[in-house]
Chains A and B, each alone.
Chain A
């Protein structure tokens, strides 16, 4: 093969440039400690890197959320403990009052219970980071207040809201105990409404803050007409328990829709199913009506009503105190209200404990996930510095050899010998 001068020079330069290009890449990898400095370095690698980094960022945010939420849940736990301790002392006092040997200084006991009522109210109105622990999602107003003249304890806000926090991809965790679920009265309907019947009604007893009983009447009337299948008008009203009953609240109507396939509640007035607050100022009746467990299937037509407590603990206690000041000892019925509330608080403390436990578990899981993600990111991205340095040294040797060879070959020609 005929070798011209240009051929020699070109071959040398091509080889030299190839070697330099490799060295340049290695230098960049070592200096940045990263194999992937641009998308073209590894198109599949960068896609994977994006996804891993995105997941890691999300995990970091979830962990922060959980840390904040844990503090809130632990504060709730502390407050519930205060409530529980207060209720225990109330029960001890009430046991004492039942002992016939002990002289009945009702005013003294009234004062003791009054102090505990204030403790309970203080615990119910506790805050964390500017948020009322039992205020639901309404942070602006204190949930519970004694009315003017201390006649009743009133619920000041719609404190049924759930505070939810995202703790994982598309998973939210409720972190609060609403005032309603800890202290409130829940009137619950369960059972089934047979769709073949035009209407079904149910009446049960509810109480105002002073302990007076009323009839809470609910009627489910099937809607007719086009597009009205599985739709009912739910009318609810409260009547006095007199010989000639008088309506003291309502009637109010809500449209309830049931799923055709499952018979469960689909919506109430077009919104997601939830509890309905029944709040009347005079007489002071305040409870939550929950009919979301009702079904609408062919079969039995039995609607059951239950109430978690006769009255909320605050007004129950307030009545006991007023009666004590009038020299009247609490009845067994009133004692049972406090007893039931004590059990209820213990259950709620367990529920809150579950929330804390759940958050702790998720934190551990997210922490180990994050560690794993960092490891994967490192595997994908990080340069093996030792290996790169060795390759760089090898290339340097190659280049030095090229230089040496070229210095021997390139300058020579016949001219040197003429």
Chain B
């Protein structure tokens, strides 16, 4: 073996270990970067010939990543994000209804019917008549407040969906772009590990927003399909649109020909809440209010007012619209228009008692009005509790998967420091080899 060969081997070794130290320093500097995948230098003997081995070189800088783990994490992340978003919205809805409390609608509904019971004892009392109107107004105001609050949440969801959609489209473009860059780097024999990290980060973020499927082509590009639609690959990305159909938000491909089938992620949570959950609650409030209005009016219009002569055919409520029950303006101006009597005598309170008794009658879906409201609140509570339980169980799974990922792909400072020492020693040894080779050459030269 010639002395120059020793120099060559040592020189390559120096480069190899210098690069290894670079990789180690890259790992250490990214120790706190959760999205970073640790890189490992794989050494390989740099071939051999008739003279012997050719030293060491870097085979590749390996990205330590488990694709199976990634797939599972993305799946559960999608579920988790779905449940988390639902939980947030349900928390807002719970805050609006303010139950159980004295300011809850249940209390105002009770007070409304109880005010008629009180009026039935003394139907000539102007203060008790005013009390009925006040109880009605309070009930209406609270109903309107809940209704409007729910509508505002729905509106804010609509706005948020626009932002999320924009985010999705940006991520799809990024993934497509990164696919191209990774491919180009690979063509140039480079190591696109950091680009792959960026791509994985974008895919992870996308998985939180919607249910995605990823397939890998032989060049290592990620082909993404979202909701059943192929949306991004190495060549291009689609732009997802949202449209209103029958008052419901749907997502389609850019040309509108394909409707996305979402089943998890924030987008799904928001659209399901916007399209189904909140409208169901609003419909329930509508049913409760119109049931109260129709039944009270039916009795009230058959009763007689406190005028002389008494009037009949007077409705108590004039209108219901978007959560607001409106009292007949005649009654608002003059509470003598409250028709508590059935026979026109001012002491008769049959109609007042009948209206009060509506509280106990099964007027809507086989239940009382109050029971319908209780069921609505209970259903909201149940939904939130179930969502939180799902959130909690998904959270446990994600924590475990994250732990596995952190264990597998995360940087350990201790490990890197150990490697650093190892590479440094090897670098020192390679440098010493050069010195030895130099001394050998000097000896030869001096011997001439």
Contacts and interface: CB of A to CB of B under 8 A. Distances in A.
Given A135-B347, A138-B347, A39 B94 contact: yes
B170 interface: no
B408 A53 contact: no
A6 B32 contact: yes
A47 B367 CA distance: 14
Contacts of A129: 122
A327 interface: no
Interface stretch (B192-200, B254-262, B348-356): B348-356
A57 B360 CA distance: 13
Interface stretch (B5-13, B17-25, B49-57, B109-117): B109-117
A44 B385 CA distance: 11
A43 B385 contact: yes
B399 A14 contact: yes
B403 interface: yes
B110 A54 contact: yes
B120 A57 contact: no
B332 interface: no
Interface stretch (A146-154, A163-171, A250-258): A163-171
A50 B406 contact: no
A63 B382 CA distance: 35
B155 interface: no
A166 B354 CA distance: 10
Contacts of A50: 99-100, 106, 370, 373-374, 377
A5 B413 contact: yes
Given A163-B348, A166-B356, 13 more contacts: A4-B38, A5-B31, A6-B32, A7-B407, A7-B410, A10-B399, A40-B382, A42-B381, A46-B377, A50-B106, A51-B371, A139-B124, A161-B345
Interface in B375-408: 375, 377-382, 384-385, 388, 399, 402-403, 406-408
Contacts of B99: 38-39, 46, 50
A130 to B, nearest CB: 7
5 contacts: A57-B114, A69-B121, A129-B122, A131-B122, A163-B348
Nearest to A21: B392
Contact of B413 (A11, A158, A414): A414
Contacts of A413: 413-414, 417
A118 B124 CA distance: 29
B412 A3 contact: yes
Contacts of A62: 117
Contacts of A172: 353
A161 B304 CA distance: 15
A163 B360 contact: no
A46 B378 contact: yes
Interface string A1-20: 11111110011001000000
A53 B107 contact: yes
Given A6-B406, A137-B343, A166-B117, A68 B411 contact: no
B124 A39 contact: no
A46 B120 contact: no
A10 B413 CA distance: 15
B357 interface: yes
Contacts of B370: 50, 54
B180 interface: no
Interface of A: 1-7, 10-11, 14, 36, 38-44, 46-47, 49-51, 53-54, 57-58, 60-62, 64-65, 68-69, 129-131, 135-140, 158, 161, 163-166, 169-170, 172, 381, 413-415, 418
B101 to A, nearest CB: 9
B252 to A, nearest CB: 35
A202 B374 CA distance: 59
Contact of B359 (A38, A58, A135, A415): A58
A68 B388 contact: no
Interface of B is mostly: helix
Interface of B: 31-32, 34, 38, 90, 94-95, 97, 99-100, 106-107, 110-111, 114, 117-118, 120-122, 124, 341, 343, 345-350, 353, 356-357, 359-360, 370-371, 373-375, 377-382, 384-385, 388, 399, 402-403, 406-415, 417-418
B410 A6 contact: yes
B402 to A, nearest CB: 6
A131 B341 CA distance: 15
Nearest to A69: B121
A258 to B, nearest CB: 23
Nearest to B375: A47
Nearest to A15: B399
Contact of A46 (B350, B360, B381, B408): B381
Contacts of A415: 413, 417
Given A5-B410, A40-B384, A166-B120, A57 B377 contact: no
A38 B99 CA distance: 6
Given A5-B411, A10-B402, A10-B406, A39 B377 contact: yes
Contact of A41 (B349, B381, B417): B381
A140 B403 contact: no
Given A47-B374, A131-B347, A137-B347, A65 B118 contact: yes
Contacts of B377: 39, 46-47, 50
Given A3-B412, A40-B94, A138-B346, A58 B381 contact: no
A223 B373 CA distance: 50
Contacts of A381: 100
Nearest to A57: B110
A166 B378 contact: no
A304 B318 CA distance: 52
Nearest to B104: A50
Nearest to B370: A54
B412 A57 contact: no
A7 to B, nearest CB: 4
Tell me which of A2, A68, A137 has the highest count of chain B C-beta atoms within 10 A of its own C-beta: A137
A138 B352 CA distance: 16
Contacts of B94: 38-40
Nearest to A41: B381
B124 A3 contact: no
Contacts of B403: 7, 10-11
A130 B412 CA distance: 90
A165 B380 contact: no
A139 B350 contact: no
A11 B407 CA distance: 11
Nearest to A60: B114
B96 to A, nearest CB: 11
Given A7-B410, A414-B417, A414-B418, A61 B385 contact: no
A51 B374 CA distance: 8
Contact of A161 (B121, B347, B378, B417): B347
A68 B121 contact: yes
B360 A169 contact: yes
B378 A44 contact: yes
A40 B383 CA distance: 8
Contacts of A6: 31-32, 34, 406, 410-411
A40 B385 contact: yes
Contacts of A53: 100, 106-107, 110
Contacts of A43: 378-379, 381-382, 385
B348 A161 contact: yes
B299 to A, nearest CB: 14
B353 A164 contact: yes
B117 A39 contact: no
Contacts of B97: 39
Contacts of B347: 131, 135-139, 161, 163
Contacts of B418: 414
Contact of B117 (A4, A61, A137, A161): A61
A10 B380 CA distance: 33
Nearest to A381: B100
B341 A137 contact: yes
A68 B90 CA distance: 45
